[in-house]
Amino acid sequence: MSQMHRIIAVALLGCLSLGAHAKPPANADEAAMALADDAPVAEQLAKVERALHSEDYSELSVADKSRVQAALDRIRTKMGDRERFDQLTPPQKVEVFNDQEVVNTLMTNAKEDSRMVCRSERPIGSNRPQRTCMTVAQRRQATEDARQMKRDLRISEPKDAR
């Protein structure tokens, strides 16, 4: 996804998520976290922590996992002994919402990068296709490595060989 597409997607998510704390999304699996007024926050945080350590988010870096965990810890602290999001004061809701956005942004990007994509490819010298599976992030890294190798080869070539 290009940088411009990411910016547009984040902007749209920001606009659409303004009401996300009021009700859960239609498909709960699609959103990493949407604090519902009618559900205990502790359960929702536990669900996010379980998801954080699942294969669905395998491409989440250690630093990003730490950022997500820190945001979840801040939400727990702000909730205190309150069970539900609607028991918070408006300024507390804003702080929790900001932490929720950090979690959702990091986990949404990681889930997309962790998606497994399989292709049928023919190895050089063979007509028999083989199934090759990689995550989106692995495929992107392989493409970038190949481009870098091509650039390096061009640099090291003598000018008259070009």
**pTM of this prediction?**
0.54
Cα end-to-end span (Å), the chain: 33
User: Model confidence over 55-92: pLDDT tens digits?
Assistant: 777 777 888 888 989 999 999 899 888 888 888 888 98
Q: d(Cα 144, Cα 142) in Å, to the nearest integer?
A: 5
Phi/psi of residue 118, nearest 5 degrees: -110, 140
Per the listing, tokens 């990007």 go with 109
Q: How confident is the model at residue 119 (pLDDT cuts 50, 70, 90)?
A: confident
Residues in the chain: 162
